[in-house]
Amino acid sequence: MTDPATDRHDARQRALTITRVFEAPRALVYQMWTEPHHMKRWWGPRGYTTLSAQVDMRLGGFWRVHSRKYDGTEVAEQGVFRQIVEAERLVFTHAWEEDDGSPGHETLVTVTFASDGDKTIMVFHQAEFLTIETRDGHLQGWGESFDMLKEYLGNA
Amino acid sequence: MQADPLTMTFAALADPTRRAILARLATGEATVTELAEPFEISGPAISRHLKVLAHAGLISRGRDAQWRPCRLEVDRLQGVDQWLQHYRQLWDGRFDQMDDYLRALQKGRTNDGPGN
């Protein structure tokens, strides 16, 4: 149930924002991200099988999801939690593992949860910021430079 | 280990001076001296920034030994957009699954049971 009006591909900030409305209570939608047995049921998109999910649900805690693709290759994603506000907000790093198990390019994911009657509005945001510490600096510095680049590239 | 191109692109972009250099190059080719002008940093410091940008494939340097003007390489920036598109598809697919799962869960009929 994608809502195109609220889905946004924010090229200017080089970030991805996806808004979804689920017909489920906020606490349950939050648990989708924090309980491994729930994560395993949705994390692998079609064509993927989730082999394992581990979540150390605390500040600085490690998470990892290991999946198998339809072609048999196995991939894993991992990160650490940067902010945890029960049923409201989760901030964590995300990286695909390299072949040697080390994390690759790190991004920052922020997921917020808000109640709307019986429904839950979930806003997912993923950005390329290497660390949360540099996030604010990035946001301030990004716009102007990319406005000029966009003009140069000739597309919005 | 050689970092993947996207990691190098983002690392190169993660600096305000380098983004300002790219913005300047978006208006046309420039020499190192021209690029250094607006910044209160040394020539060698600018050269280091240019090296990072060139290594990431974001700029190229002309062959003219005297001037070696810098120019913006657009392809690598477009790779950033492709990266976003890839993640959009991935998460959209996942959230479709989450939606299905939440519906099934609340009807109390998940096909292969909880705790799987």
Closest in A16, A137, A145 to B22, CB measured: A145
| Chain-chain contact of B19 with A11 (C-beta, under 8 angstroms) | no
Let me know if residue A1 belongs to a domain: no
Which tens digits make up the pLDDT trace of B68-115? Answer: 889 988 877 777 767 777 888 899 999 999 999 999 999 875 554 444
CA-nearest residue to A52 within chain B is B116
Domains of chain B plus CATH, in order, are 5-73 (1.10.10.10)
Number of domains in chain A: 1
Q: What are A92-135's pLDDT values in tens digits?
A: 999 889 888 888 878 889 999 999 999 999 999 988 654 333 44
Give the CATH number for residue A91. Answer: 3.30.530.20
Instruction: Give the closest-approach CA distance of A16 to chain B in angstroms.
Output: 6
Contact A28 B116 (CB under 8 A): no
Q: Which of B49, B46, B45, B42 is nearest to B32 (CA)?
A: B46
Q: How high is the pLDDT of residue A103?
A: 85
B59: left (phi over 0), alpha (psi -120 to 50) or beta: beta
The phi, psi pair for B102, rounded to 5°, reads -60, -40
Partners of residue A98 in chain B, C-beta under 8 Å: 1
> Is A36 among the domain residues?
yes
CB A108 within 8 A of CB A83: no
Q: What percent of chain A has pLDDT over 70?
A: 72
| Helix or strand holding residue B46 (H, E) | helix B43-55
Is residue A65, in this structure, part of any structural domain at all? yes
- Does a structural domain hold residue A3? no
Cβ-contact A57, A67 below 8 angstroms? no
Contacts with B106 from chain A: Cβ below 8 Å = 23-24, 28
- Taking an 8 Å cut-off on Cβ atoms, the answer to whether B102 and A29 are in contact is yes
Least confident range from A67-71, B62-66, B112-116: namely: B112-116
Q: Is A17 a residue whose pLDDT tops 90?
A: no
What one-character-per-residue DSSP string does A25-74 give?
A: -HHHHHHHHH-HHHHHHHSS-TTEEEEEEEE--STT-EEEEEEEETTS-E
B21-48 per-position pLDDT tens digit: 888 888 888 888 888 888 888 888 888 9
* Of the listed ranges A49-63, A132-146, B29-43, the one predicted with least confidence: A132-146
Long-range CB contacts (within 8 A, 24+) of A9-12: A9/B84, A9/B85, A9/B88, A11/A146, A11/A150, A11/A156, A11/B81, A11/B84, A12/A142, A12/A143, A12/A146, A12/A147, A12/A150
Residue A134 falls inside a structural domain: yes
Write the residue in A9, A44, A134 that is nearest to B14 by C-beta.
A134
